[in-house]
Amino acid sequence: MRIPEKRQKGLSLIEMMIALVIAAMVIAGVYRTFTIQQRSFVFQEQVSEAQQNVRAVMDLVAYDIRMAGFGMPAWAVGGVANEIRIDQGSPADFTIVGVFSAPIATLSNDATMGQSQIILNTNGQSLEFTAGDNLLVFESDRAVLPILPPASVLAAPLTYKTVVVWGDVSGINPTISIDSDGSTAGTQDSLDKNLRTNALVYRVGTVRYQLNGTTLLRNGSVLANNVNAFQITDLFNAGPPAVAETFGSYQVVLTVTTQTNDPDFPGGVRVRTLRSTIKARNLVYSG
């Protein structure tokens, strides 16, 4: 007896083409969704980085401005304004010059006019000085007072002197050769006033912010990239009349952009701007 063979049916060519088209549409949709989500993630990450950069830079600028004159009594800072100052070359080129820390030493003995060296008392600590370093020597009988001195004491002229270190020196209680004419260690010079034992000795530092293209520099080192604008305005000198309450107040505006363009965003790049008013609280208005 002959058993008939069963006929086996498969997919036709048309059915296979339809299945492939449907699969391709699904894969294309999934890929498009993936690329959109990935691009959104990349740009959101760049926006987050831009926000962190602008906040970090603003915090550092605020710290440097507020630290100018630190370590000296507030009533004394106004009298040494030439040694503790905030200079502004242009809105995008800003230099802070001043004392940023407590005294590092005292004079171990009197230094008289015409003397070309001073001897420091570092209280057992070893210190290093490089030719060209600036030191501020301040009479200690007034500087150590924690509160505003009596009017009779304030009436006396302040005794202070900025000296430039003439050569490299290090160690405990070092002897500093000075160049008091303000040049950079070229020719040794001498004091033009007397300084007494126990006068406080401060380091005078310089912090410079400079916008070079879209790169913000701090003392020549890269602080932030993709900076579109950096501007500092001295509110005291911004326009008449000068108000004592605005002395030492600086408005800082910082704008950064994302690293790459976002074609789906108007203007192409994401922009983050932070504006802050910072008070140099260690500087006082002397009228």
Domains in the chain: boundaries: 46-279
pLDDT at residue 256 tops 80: yes
Report the C-alpha gap between 47 and 53 in whole angstroms.
Answer: 10
Per the prediction, the chain carries an average pLDDT of 78
Mean pLDDT value across residues 65-69 = 84
Amino acid at 209: Y
The token pair that represents 101 in the structure block: 């820390």
Report the C-alpha gap between 71 and 197 in whole angstroms.
Answer: 19
The token pair that represents 144 in the structure block: 């150590």
Q: How confident is the model at residue 171 (pLDDT cuts 50, 70, 90)?
A: very high
Higher pLDDT, 31 or 122: 122
pLDDT for 168 equals: 86
Q: Are 61 and 278 in contact (CB under 8 A)?
A: yes
Report the C-alpha gap between 42 and 8 in whole angstroms.
Answer: 53
Report the C-alpha gap between 152 and 212 in whole angstroms.
Answer: 50
pLDDT at residue 242 tops 90: no
pLDDT for 84 equals: 62
The token pair that represents 111 in the structure block: 């230094």
pLDDT for 253 equals: 92
pLDDT for 154 equals: 47
- 3-class DSSP state of 175: strand
